[in-house]
Amino acid sequence: MSDPLRLGVVGLGRAFMLMLPTFAQHPLVRLTAASDPREEARRQFEADFSTPASAARSYETPEALCADPGVDVVYIASPHQFHVEHVRLAARAGKHILVEKPMALALADCRAMIQAARENGVHLLVGHSHSFDAPYLRATELIRSGEYGRPRMILAANFTDFLYRPRRPEELDTSQGGGVVFSQAAHQVDVVRLLAGSRISTVRAVTARLDPARPTEGAYQAFLTFSDGASAMLTYSGYGRYDTDEQLGWLGELGQKRDPSQYGSARRALAKIATPEEEAALKNKRAYGISTGGAGPFPVPAGHNHFGHVVVSCDKADLRPTAEGVHIYADERNWLDRLPVPVVPRSEVVDELYAAVRNGVPPLHSGEWGMATLEACLAILDSAASGREIDLGGSPAGV
């Protein structure tokens, strides 16, 4: 019988809410403990995840959580700027670590996190990012089979309302990890790196700040070249106008059915907010333990998680991962390599984590992987600011 991982959570905010259906339903993990400064969230966690055989524990600080001997793995879902501190705490306590993307805000911090995990003999995984999603994993499997030749060009485009969802002040400050490059390019870069299967050589990018009231990057375009000659064009906009889900049968990023009649709802809700404090309070309403939360029941996904419109042009076919599977466009015919609708969303995250911790399988989404993705995100910002192409060809970050 499988021995579930006993999971402790640092931060019961929005990132945890997105992973909650996975952790609560996956048989290979058990939510055991959590830390959060909000008492109402801690009370809710204990109520939701205590069983007759075992009481769930909650703590005010990450230090107390990491000292809990009943925790095997710590999921770090705190704000970006605290990741390095919290990874070090968990590693020193001998806990394996799953840290949210972006891994950190500086490469030096990434290196410190990797070193802390190595010195303490624990696994460090970075995610959830959308490169865990089954359609991208399946497309990668098809590419690596060699049947369709090498990937030559990748197009990735995603248009969302990201910038108009409720934000804390630091989420609109690039220097503190705000904006779409740190939070959204981390997904998109991860996906194209996975599909390309080689190291990024160069990055040329522009970014856009189109709303003075949201003073951070809300959009970008980036052209990436890879060490084997492949290239990728990345486009992202979080300004809440055109929505890429229209191209994907109105299946949303989390595999949920979307209602196109709700166009502009994020902007309309934000227009009712007068101060940053009110906006932060509105965001907190989406966090665990207030108006949302609980251990289910969870909605059944209509499809897989995805990150917008992606096309991989290979020597012998074009591949288009979607919420339903992978569309294959070959010379003589095209068809859908359909994937079954997931029972547990984002189960691939726990599968990879469990394989690493219990079976010693080297994880794809390691600390080194996360650092290479951050390096590309920083290069997007650097290129946009300097007007130069950024050469990453000699980087030690690796694939």
117: left (phi over 0), alpha (psi -120 to 50) or beta: alpha
Q: 5-130+344-365 in CATH: which number?
A: 3.40.50.720
Distance (Å, whole) CA 349 – CA 142 = 20
- Based on its alpha-carbon atoms, the radius of gyration of the chain, rounded to whole angstroms, reads 20
Domain positions in the chain: 5-130+344-365, 133-343+377-391
What is the per-residue pLDDT across 71-81, written as a single tens digit (0 to 9) for each? 999 999 999 99
Distance (Å, whole) CA 159 – CA 37 = 34
Tell me the pTM.
Answer: 0.95
Contact criterion met (CB below 8 Å) for 397 and 375: yes
Q: What is the pLDDT of residue 297?
A: 85
Distance spanning both ends of the chain, measured CA to CA? 35
Distance (Å, whole) CA 353 – CA 357 = 6
Nearest to 234 by CA among 179, 184, 295, 189: 189
Tokens standing for residue 65:
């959580």
Measured at the CA of 263, the angle between CA 254 and CA 187, to 5 degrees, comes to 35
Distances (CA, A) of 272 to 165, 214, 268, 269, 284: 12, 15, 7, 6, 16
Q: What is the pLDDT of residue 398?
A: 44
Nearest to 7 by CA among 129, 90, 103, 112: 90
Q: What is the pLDDT of residue 34?
A: 98
CATH architecture, domain 133-343+377-391: 2-Layer Sandwich (3.30)
Long-range own/partner contacts, residues 115-118 (CB < 8 A, 24 or more apart): 116/87, 116/88, 116/91, 116/92, 117/87, 117/91, 117/367
The dihedral built from the CA positions of residue 210, 214, 216 and 221, taken in this order, carries a sign that is negative
The residue ranges of DSSP E strands in the chain, in sequence order, are 5-10, 29-35, 57-59, 73-76, 96-99, 124-126, 151-159, 200-208, 219-226, 231-237, 309-314, 318-321, 325-329, 334-338, 390-391
- Per-residue pLDDT for the chain (399 aa), expressed as one digit of tens each? 479 999 999 999 989 999 999 999 999 999 999 999 999 999 999 999 999 999 999 999 999 999 999 999 999 999 999 999 999 999 999 999 999 999 999 999 999 999 999 999 999 999 999 999 999 999 999 999 999 999 999 999 999 999 999 999 999 999 999 999 999 999 999 999 999 999 999 999 999 999 999 999 999 999 999 999 999 999 999 999 999 999 999 999 999 999 999 999 999 999 999 999 999 988 888 888 865 556 778 989 999 999 999 999 999 999 999 999 999 999 999 999 999 999 999 999 999 999 999 999 999 999 999 999 999 999 999 999 999 999 998 444 444
